[in-house]
């Protein structure tokens, strides 16, 4: 059912899953393409990119649980739980398989979706993705610490955000090159003004990050993406997740492509939506969907299976 009618070219729809409301936005027609946003983002933040990709695809952008307009519930905020909700939403929409684009946390969710439901992923695009190395910004490591909820509450207060936003704008006019990062911080904090959104953010964050950095890694399973067309995209100005993670992932994923965006930092969908849409559109035009069969999956697993051992009871 429609959730609103204000944005006619990128409308929001509502689905009830397991008694909870899930919001998603759609545009276009053609083969399905699912965009999985990251933390402190939502489907709204992908409007410009989605409308470009909708020229050739049916684009579906769900709000992850606890993000955007989807309900914040008490429960599991792990990447596996996010992936399962997307699976259930696609089943409700009668979409058997799709191309996936995942950004930041959403990249980790998209990779987890692939590992859980490989036959439902036709292609995979990872944009400044999590889950590809330990290093992350000190800001994210700090937010994962015990007691950080009070700091997040204070930092997301409207008065604080207004002051930071004004300061960033003023410094930007004076030519301070790091003003863009201050603006990015205020943009990230603004969705966290509600208690439910703050709790969802902290639970999602702590499911993948601790004081040492990312503690969830997909590196040992990237070889499984070999037959699936895969694109890795990174903003060259990213200070949240190092661009080296993208380069290393490209080396580990057979036949993958790697592209960088000189104008973008960690949020290419907001910092360079045209550049990101151009890169993804070309990749979609140049590649063909491929869905792994059970036989394909078994062969891939067997290709890295050193040996099987019988364990005798002591």
Q: Could you give the residue numbers annotated as active site? A: 104, 238, 266
Listed in sequence order, the residues at least 6 apart from 295 whose beta carbon sits closer than 8 Å to its beta carbon are none
Q: Give SS3 for 32.
A: strand
Which two three-digit tokens encode residue 151? 């700091």
Which two three-digit tokens encode residue 183? 């603006």
Give 3-state DSSP helix, strand, coil % of the chain, rounded to 5: 45, 15, 40
In whole angstroms, give the CA distance from residue 42 to residue 35: 10
In whole angstroms, give the CA distance from residue 153 to residue 189: 9
Would you give the DSSP letter of residue 292? -
How far is C-alpha 176 from the geometric centre of its chain's CA atoms?
Answer: 29
CB burial of residue 312 (10 Å; 0-12, 13-18, 19+): exposed
Which two three-digit tokens encode residue 272? 């360079």
In the sheet that holds 121-127, the strands lie side by side as 12-17, 20-27, 58-62, 32-36, 98-103, 121-127, 230-235, 257-261
């Amino acid at each position: 059912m429609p959730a609103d009618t204000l944005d006619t070219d990128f409308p929001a729809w509502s689905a009830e899953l397991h008694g909870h409301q899930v919001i998603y936005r759609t545009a276009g027609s053609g083969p399905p393409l699912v965009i999985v946003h990251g933390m402190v983002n939502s489907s709204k933040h992908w409007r410009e990119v989605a409308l470009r990709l909708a020229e050739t695809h049916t684009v579906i952008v769900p709000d992850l649980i606890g993000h955007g307009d989807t309900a914040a519930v008490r429960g599991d905020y792990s990447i596996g739980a996010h992936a399962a909700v997307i699976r259930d939403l696609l089943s409700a929409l009668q979409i058997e398989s799709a191309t996936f684009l995942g950004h930041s946390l959403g990249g980790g969710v998209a990779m987890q979706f692939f590992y859980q439901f490989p036959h439902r992923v036709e292609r995979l695009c990872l944009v400044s993705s999590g889950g590809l190395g330990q290093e992350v910004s000190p800001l994210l490591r700090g937010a994962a610490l015990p007691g950080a909820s009070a700091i997040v509450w204070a930092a997301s207060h409207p008065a604080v955000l207004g002051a930071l936003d004004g300061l960033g704008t003023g410094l930007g006019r004076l030519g301070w090159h790091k003003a863009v990062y201050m603006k990015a911080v205020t943009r990230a904090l603004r969705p966290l003004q509600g208690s439910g959104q703050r709790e969802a953010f902290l639970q999602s964050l702590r499911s993948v990050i601790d004081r040492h950095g990312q503690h969830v890694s997909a590196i040992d399973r990237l070889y499984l993406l070999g037959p699936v067309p895969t694109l890795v995209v990174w903003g060259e100005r990213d200070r949240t997740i190092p661009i080296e993670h993208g380069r290393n992932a490209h080396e580990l994923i057979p036949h993958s492509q790697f592209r960088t965006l000189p104008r973008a930092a960690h949020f290419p969908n907001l910092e360079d939506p045209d550049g990101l849409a151009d890169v993804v559109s070309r990749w979609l035009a140049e590649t063909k969907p491929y869905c792994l069969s059970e036989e394909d999956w078994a062969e891939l697993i067997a290709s890295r299976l050193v040996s099987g051992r019988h364990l005798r009871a002591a």
